[in-house]
A and B are shown apart, each in its own frame.
Chain A
Amino acid sequence: MSLLEVDNIHSYYGQIHALKGISVEVNEGEIVTLIGSNGAGKSTILRTISGMMHPKKGMISFEGKDISKKEPHEIVTAGMVHVPEGRGIFPTLTVKENLEMGAFTVTDSRVIEERMEYGFSLFPRLKERIDQFGGTLSGGEQQMLAIARGLMMDPHLLMLDEPSMGLAPILVELIFDIIKDLNATRGTTILLVEQNALMALSIAHRGYVLQTGEITATDTAANLRNNEEVQKAYLGVS
């Protein structure tokens, strides 16, 4: 049984049919990536999984339980965390308060403290900025904060929406190293949405290629990297 099973879902924004029968599986311990150009529906998939919107048709199950009608706050407590596109840092909460919000449903203050320290060990820069407002951080620091905040729930499944967006190449590399490391050392399962397909496929085990709300290809990351169509469309190889 897969950890996450998305079975033939259809999602709409009003009349716009954004997801037209999407099926995705994520197994325990994997890094799975969703790649595709702008507007393909990658973020919509994550929003539907995390309960920010509900599918009109289809079913989503997490750890064997149907979650397609659950609200986001219920899904978080089930062990799945969604770090949204654009990071969603609370601008006038401090770095510390942002991190505390990440563990909102955790009541044991010692656990909160431990996880915060773990986040600081990944991103020491955040510790230096601990009392600064989230809105005053640089883009890279905000991305670090978003990931550290996502880890405050110690999720089974971490969903990241374009963590490389708008970052300098050196930071992109740092972020991807940490994602890979999280998976390798902590066993955190990761569903990674990326426009930077090359980077995503370099750390993922498997991938799905998305085009205007439909999945056009799925394979191991290695095979997708060598797939001619994928190379042409997403890897900038001609």
Chain B
Amino acid sequence: MIRFLKRINVYELVRPVGQMVLFSLGSAAFMSAIAISLALALDGTAVGASLMDKYNVSLYTYTMLNLPQVIIDGLTIGFVYAAIALGYTMVYGVLEFINFAHSEIFAVGAFVGVELLIALDGMGILAGASLGMAYAYLILAIILGMMAAGGLAVAVERVAYRPLRGASRLVPLISAIGVSFLLQDVIRLVESLTSGQFNRIMPTFGNFDSRIVFGKIAMGTSKLTLGISVKSIIVIGSAVLMLVGLNYLVNATRVGKAIRAVAQDRPTASLMGINVNRIISLTFLVGGLLGGAAGVLYALKFTRIDPFVGFFPGLKAFTAAVLGGIGNMTGALLGGIVLGMLETFAGSYMGVFTMGAAGSEYKDIFAFSILILVLIFRPQGLMGKHVMQKA
């Protein structure tokens, strides 16, 4: 046991946590500074006046009151994006190929997890479950979603990508888009055959919807409540655990070194005795496991899913991967957090700052504007060159 503990590389456990804290605090501070400056600047204008008229609160106070919730929501969705983005980035790192079916892998994970919980709910098991059992069922749903998504990702690679490996780069890309549509329709078919409904709702159980309140701060005439929903803690906590685990796998284990070796030079890796196909399958498996877990967590946070549920999170996670530098795992983490934060800030404040002219329905524009801007001005992404890739 001691021997085993000695071989644990503590640095590779601490380093990713440090990065997450740094990226979270950094992007929260950056976005808050922008929101507060805008609020202060707009307070004296018609925007501030109209808010004062309606709610008797200054724009600055309003911004500050909402800030904690916005940051927590931003982090929650940011970690979900990061978990999905890692699936894109790992596959890209190893194969230089964008797995556009990853969004549907995510969706399948969400469906499998939610269907399990709906089934348990239908049997009346969830309603009477103790808190401990509620968590056990949620964990079971996450694990099942992960297994389904991981297995599916491996199968998709085997059937739809591997036979095309020698072909030009566009060919597997088109295959991936085809698989993506196919999987959407398979979900629809299965749902219409079994439940007859495309929209599935995550059952309410456990204490996931309650809020933990840390305290209240007086803010002019209003009170600022500092709190966080249990859901958000679960989403962030699970994502952090998975990301630390993934980082450890890739950076501190023998098989992780093999993944990096295959990413850097596939023919030479095979000369080392590495079974390259197996490493590629493993990469898809790991990406699928993360995507599947992200799917169930997403369903927990947003409650409603449908067969197209993968599309926007998938596209945004892809944007996050590109923003961080595709192929770069730290970049995917940074990109996910930054994008989640940016989008939530935009969604929460844009409506007020523009007097309702551009509400939260425009928040998606930010994600995709970022994609375009990054591709034009910094195609290698924020973190630069692919860490797993050839220098």
Contact = CB atoms under 8 A, between A and B. Distances in A.
Interface stretch (B115-123, B167-175, B263-271): B263-271
Nearest to A97: B257
Contacts of A76: 271-273
A176 interface: no
Interface in B311-357: none
A97 B270 CA distance: 15
Contacts of A81: 271
Contact of A88 (B268, B275, B387): B268
Contact of B260 (A73, A82, A93): A93
A220 interface: no
A77 interface: yes
B260 A52 contact: no
Interface residues of B, number: 22
Given A91-B390, A92-B391, A104 B267 contact: no
Contacts of B388: 92
Contacts of B389: 92
A52 B391 contact: no
A15 to B, nearest CB: 15
A102 interface: yes
Interface in A81-99: 81-84, 88, 90-93, 97
Contacts, number: 70
A50 interface: yes
B267 A101 contact: no
A198 B267 CA distance: 30
A43 to B, nearest CB: 12
Q: Which of B261, B270, B271, B276 has the most CB of A within 10 A?
A: B271
A88 B264 CA distance: 10
Contacts of B254: 100, 104
Interface string A39-61: 00000000000111000000000
Given A73-B275, A73-B276, A104-B254, A90 B265 contact: yes
A116 interface: no
B257 A100 contact: yes
B274 interface: yes
B236 interface: no
B305 interface: no
Q: Which of B261, B267, B272, B390 has the most CB of A within 10 A?
A: B272
B31 interface: no
Nearest to B386: A92
Contacts of B84: none
Nearest to A78: B273
B261 A101 contact: yes
Contacts of B265: 88, 90
A72 interface: yes
Q: Which of A51, A93, A101, A135 has the most CB of B within 10 A?
A: A101
B389 to A, nearest CB: 8
Given A97-B257, A101-B261, A91 B391 contact: yes
A195 to B, nearest CB: 21
A226 to B, nearest CB: 35
Contact of B258 (A71, A82, A88, A104): A104
A92 B261 CA distance: 9
A76 B242 CA distance: 34
A222 to B, nearest CB: 32
Contact of B271 (A88, A91, A92, A93): A88
Contacts of B390: 91
A191 interface: no
Contacts of A50: 271
A105 interface: yes
Contact of A105 (B260, B273, B276): B273
A145 to B, nearest CB: 12
A88 B267 contact: yes
Interface string B377-391: 000000000011111
Contact of A71 (B264, B268, B269, B275): B275
Q: Which of A97, A104, A149 has the most CB of B within 10 A?
A: A104
A90 B275 contact: no
A153 interface: yes
Nearest to A88: B268
A190 to B, nearest CB: 16
B274 A84 contact: no
A84 B391 contact: no
Given A71-B275, A73-B275, A90 B261 contact: yes
A93 B252 CA distance: 12
A78 to B, nearest CB: 10
Contacts of A135: 391
A50 B271 CA distance: 8
Nearest to A133: B391
B388 to A, nearest CB: 7
Nearest to A83: B271
Interface string A128-155: 0000010100000000000001000100
Contacts of B260: 90, 92-93
Contacts of B261: 90, 93, 101
A52 B257 CA distance: 21
Given A84-B268, A90-B260, A93-B264, A77 B273 contact: yes
Given A91-B390, A92-B391, A84 B264 contact: no
Given A83-B271, A88-B268, A92-B260, 14 more contacts: A52-B267, A52-B271, A72-B273, A73-B273, A73-B275, A73-B276, A77-B273, A90-B264, A92-B389, A93-B261, A93-B264, A100-B254, A101-B274, A104-B274
12 contacts: A50-B271, A51-B270, A71-B275, A72-B270, A72-B271, A83-B271, A90-B261, A92-B389, A93-B264, A101-B257, A101-B261, A135-B391
Interface of B: 254, 257-258, 260-261, 264-265, 267-276, 387-391
